[in-house]
Amino acid sequence: MKLGVCYYPEHWPQDQWAQDALDMVDIGISKVRIAEFAWSRIEPRSGEFDWAWLDKAVETLANAGLEITMCTPTATPPKWLIDQYPDIRAWDESGHPRTFGSRRHYCFSSKTYRKESQRISQAIVERYSANPAVTSWQTDNEYGCHNTVRSYSPNARQAFRIWLAHKYKTTDALNTAWGTVFWSQEYTEFDQVDLPNLTVTEPNPAHVLDFYRFSSDQVIAFNREQVDIIRNYSKADITHNVMGHFTRFNHYDLGKDIDITTWDSYPLGFLDQGWWTEAQKQRWMRAGHPDFAAFHHALYRACSGGPRKGRWGVMEQQPGPVNWAPNNPVPRDGMVALWTLEACAMGAEYVSYFRWRQAPFAQEQNHAGLRDHRNITARAEIEAKGLGNFLGALGKQDAAYNKIALIFDYETAWMFNIQPQSAHWNYEALCFDFYTALRRMGLGVDIISPQHDLTGYTVVIIPSLPIIPNDLLERAKAANAHIMFGPRSGSKTSDYHVPQTDPIPGINIIRSESVRASHVFDIEMDEQYYRGHIWRDYIQTDLTDADLTVANLKVEAECDDGTPAFVTSKDYSYLAVVPDMKFLRAVLSYVLDTHDIETTWLAKDVRVERTQTHGFAFNYGSKPVTLRNNFATGKFIQGRRTLPPAGVCVWEL
């Protein structure tokens, strides 16, 4: 695994560049990403290009032996361009154009911007594609950051109408799909359809879902235009740096068009900003949630090439305090190295730090780098420097062949956002809890889309999936994989209707409820007592029902009123409540035991990952922990069984 860094030559005097490059090489960095925000320096005025400085920067980095990831600079259209074509800007949900002065101030549906982004991409690709130092390309920067996927501009409305006409062909088909007879919303022309903002009350959910699908498709189409331009000139790898904890466009779709999905990993910022409890935030304030980075590593590993062979990396790794979370603490000493090695343990091709030197000016002046704003080595540089030789000696690590997959789905996230039906239902948190429980059992887990191939998986976990693809159960059966469904699975059709027949045979949900956060469902399973909360599906209990007999379902856990909380059959099981961690562990153990998958419950702060050749253990806690004897039986090549805070040990398998 290579190490990299994000560098902004345009922020520093030219006479500093050569030394910067040498210093990067000295600490083991071999890849540098540049130019993603440099449009105003590349083209200071319309049609007037200044390549001299960028040529010089490329030459300086290349002379030091560094590989370059060159970016298309389209995340920051310059002022002259916005003034010339104000229709480039996106509009927010309250119907106001967003202004110039930060970044990402463009609408994916602006035809002008699509042309301009192609023009600047073409110019930069023509200039550098033949340069052997440019070994990869990044398109734009973090699509969707700062809430920019969905735009409510006139351009978006026009493009949405075209998208709908293409999808439905006739307004009759649209009316049926959306159920517009409800509240007299029927349309006779596609041009009558507006965007679903500013309505008096809740807009039609199918209308919103289609708008979310359309908005995701616009991101994919925008990206593809740049990818096509790059591929016309170059065989170098193409990536885009996606974000963590972000669901507004379908990352599986984006990943298909690029060679490597990379992502920007800020474990402390995301913990502080996320849904975790105060106690969890306090516990992991200097480490990040032990599953946060891994969850995204696994998810993005599946995007470009599928979970088994997917190519991925970390484009921006948090090096110290960030500037954008409510609180921005310093990572515990050792965490930057731990995060880097955890990516390696999950098969990353590279980890690149954000950024080389802290900027002394502008919006991100409080964001750490490997060096501080005076060019003094910061803690992260010391940790990165310690890693280069070790990674070299470790050699190439291939991701493990996991037997467990967890399905994470973008449309599901959108649907629960459109009609949550509960103030406490949180799809991402639910998926995350399942992932945490599986990882605490010491298991390696792939995260996949509902469409991915299931071959090779013994158990497929679906925390929730309202729209179950027609062929999913068949595919699971053919792969001999057991599917475990969570609550609300199968509750909708792709048109956002309630299905007329049960998508999962035998699981006939006769009613569902959401409850106050303080309400607990008392559950019994195998004479043990557990709890569920937030949501309950009532499964029809008549075991003589034909479907139940066909599916051969058994009730394994019951709520105290006798309604099923967990039912199983050979091919699938269904969990009818949101479980607490103890119940989740119990139902997962049941399913895994039945399928002969061995588990070992890990200490709260410890996680283990295995590549095909090595085992890795990580201590996210503030106290030393000792691994149990059934872990790490091979020769240690780094660390030992007792892990200090932020400690990592690596052993041969």
Q: Which residues are catalytic?
A: 142, 316
- Total site size for ligand GAL, rule CB under 6 A: 11
272 vs 446 by CB, closer to ligand GAL: 272
Q: Is 349 in the site for ligand GAL (CB under 6 A)?
A: no
Binding ligand GAL by CB under 6 A: which of 89, 311, 357, 367?
Answer: 367
The backbone torsions φ and ψ at residue 97, rounded to the nearest 5 degrees and listed phi first, read -65, 140
Give the span between the Cα atoms of 225 and 613, in whole angstroms: 39
Q: Which two tokens stand for residue 127?
A: 């200039």
41 vs 477 by CB, closer to ligand GAL: 41
Hunting for tokens 């792969």 — which residue is that?
479
Part in contact with ligand GAL (CB under 6 A); list of ranges 137-145, 147-155, 165-173, 503-511:
137-145
Residue type at 510 in one-letter notation: I
Q: Is 142 in the site for ligand GAL (CB under 6 A)?
A: yes
139 vs 141 by CB, closer to ligand GAL: 141
273 vs 589 by CB, closer to ligand GAL: 273
DSSP state for residue 174 in the 8-state scheme: H
Binding ligand GAL by CB under 6 A: which of 22, 25, 133, 145?
Answer: 145
Q: Is 272 in the site for ligand GAL (CB under 6 A)?
A: no
Q: How many CB atoms lie within 10 A of CB 495?
A: 14
Give the Cα-Cα-Cα angle 208, 214, 218 (nearest 5 degrees).
145
Binding ligand GAL by CB under 6 A: which of 209, 322, 344, 565?
Answer: 322
355 vs 440 by CB, closer to ligand GAL: 355
Binding ligand GAL by CB under 6 A: which of 20, 140, 237, 316?
Answer: 316
Q: Is 354 in the site for ligand GAL (CB under 6 A)?
A: yes
Part in contact with ligand GAL (CB under 6 A); list of ranges 140-148, 189-197, 251-259, 397-405:
140-148
Nearest to 295 by CA among 255, 360, 364, 342: 342
Binding ligand GAL by CB under 6 A: which of 108, 143, 266, 410?
Answer: 266
> Shortest Cβ distance from residue 367 to ligand GAL (Å)?
5
> Shortest Cβ distance from residue 6 to ligand GAL (Å)?
7
Question: Which residue(s) pair with 652 in the sheet?
Answer: 614
Nearest to 246 by CA among 417, 98, 485: 417
SS (H, E, C) 180-236: CCHHHCCCCCHHHCCCCCCCCCCCCHHHHHHHHHHHHHHHHHHHHHHHHHHHHHCCC
73 vs 307 by CB, closer to ligand GAL: 73
Q: Is 359 in the site for ligand GAL (CB under 6 A)?
A: no
Q: Which two tokens stand for residue 314?
A: 């970390």
Residue 153 burial by Cβ neighbours in a 10 Å radius (0-12, 13-18, 19+): buried
Q: How many CB atoms lie within 10 A of CB 546?
A: 10
Binding ligand GAL by CB under 6 A: which of 116, 140, 237, 264?
Answer: 264
Q: Which two tokens stand for residue 19?
A: 């030394």
**Contact positions vs ligand GAL (CB under 6 A):** 141-142, 145, 264, 266, 316, 322, 324, 354, 364, 367
